Structure 1
Amino acid sequence: MGNREDLLAWARRFVDRLEGGTAGCVSFELCHAELILEGEEAMHGTAEDRTLLPEHRAEIAELCAFLDQTPQAVEPALLRGPDGSTRALPPEVYEALMVVVRALSEGKAVTVAPVNTTLTTQEAADLLGVSRPTFVKILDEAEVPYSRPGRHRRVLLADVLEYKEKRRTRRSRGLDELVELTEDSGLYDS
């Protein structure tokens, strides 16, 4: 998988082997040569979106059990084609496949959706699950860097994902502090 086109072609062949559906539970997004994995229900409106349903549950369960028993290897995983040729899988592709297999084995649907690494404010807002005006406020507060190549603001996907992780961490810390405060005041029985 030398370049982006090879990776996209391989991903499309992988997806084409599975039947698509309509409900998404896990999003698996191709971002150029980088794979970003998110556990969100948002569907992206590109023509290349595909949602996979866990139709072959017995085979998926066997594959998941096999992967769970496989030790972490130093060597890259290999993909064998129908003609017998093999290719080494980059670590991010292997990780993406692991996430897909686990989600399908849990009976969840998986959506594969290519996205750009530069986003509009609406695309970034959709990714964060907020309104566009709320995301613009986040930009105005300098929480996410942006550029303005013309009249409209653009943000990098990596910056939006970093903000999303920081927000998740802040929320988690806040909940931990709340539990601690309620335990200290005797309002919460553990």
Structure 2
Amino acid sequence: MTTATPDRIDLPDDVAQLLADASRLMGEALDRPHAARVALVEEEEGRDIARIEVPPDTLRLLSRVLAMMASEQAFLLYPAHTELTTKQAAELLGVSRPYLIARLEAGELDYRKVGRHRRIRMEDVLAFKETMRQTRRAALDALVEDSESLGGYDL
């Protein structure tokens, strides 16, 4: 049985292997750099019973999705112009809603108002998440550097 949480997709081993094989085969089909489209064919008893042609970029995306599912990674697909509520954005960022609203009011993140409610573009939330990650990383690197200069790692 397949189960999914915000952090992980749990698959039976046979399903995970099937997805990994499909991703690998799609990657091999995409090794032809000048192909305008790739045909997916279902065969039965040696003859084609279904055939669909897709652009290589579509197959690349599907291959990545299958590979992530096979390794039981959670992923997020969203339409290009998705907007989130402050509650949804805070959950995605892993912060409290009041903290997020303070960042919005400080101008650190763009938003628009719909009546009394704020809406934040998904791409802005993801960019802000990356900025938060880089800031944390820089702070940790600075702490390690300070500790090393003070002999904190000497035995």
With the length of structure 1 as denominator, give the TM-score of the two structures: 0.59
Q: In 2, distance between residues paired with 1:122 and 1:144?
A: 15
Deviations for 1:121-167, whole angstroms, at most 9, x for unmatched residues? 11111111122112111111211011113111111111111111111
Q: CA RMSD in A?
A: 3.4
Gaps of 5+ in 1: 1-18, 25-39, 43-50
Shift of 1:188: 2.1
Q: In 2, distance between residues paired with 1:155 and 1:140?
A: 12
Q: What is the SS of the residue equivalent to 1:148?
A: strand
Of 81, 90, 97, the match for 2:57: 90
Task: Report how many aligned residue pairs link the two structures.
Answer: 145
Task: Name the residue aligned to 1:53.
Answer: 11
Gaps of 5+ in 2: 43-49
Do residues 181 (structure 1) and 140 (structure 2) align? no
Q: In 2, distance between residues paired with 1:76 and 1:181?
A: 54
Residue pair 1:76, 1:90 contacting (<8 A) in 2 also: no
Shift of 1:113: 6.0
Amino acid at match of 2:7: E
Deviations for 1:75-95, whole angstroms, at most 9, x for unmatched residues? 56736264212111436x624
| Residues 159, 81 of structure 1: alpha-carbon distance in 2 compared, 3 angstrom cutoff | farther
Q: What is the SS of the residue equivalent to 1:84?
A: strand
With the length of structure 2 as denominator, give the TM-score of the two structures: 0.70
| Residues 79, 136 of structure 1: alpha-carbon distance in 2 compared, 3 angstrom cutoff | farther
| Residues 109, 165 of structure 1: alpha-carbon distance in 2 compared, 3 angstrom cutoff | closer
| Residues 65, 171 of structure 1: alpha-carbon distance in 2 compared, 3 angstrom cutoff | same
Larger helix proportion of the pair: 2
Choose 1 or 2 for highest CA Rg: 2
Q: What is the SS of the residue equivalent to 2:113?
A: coil
Which runs of structure 1 show a deviation greater than 6 angstroms over 4 or more consecutive aligned residues? 67-70
Residue pair 1:23, 1:109 contacting (<8 A) in 2 also: no
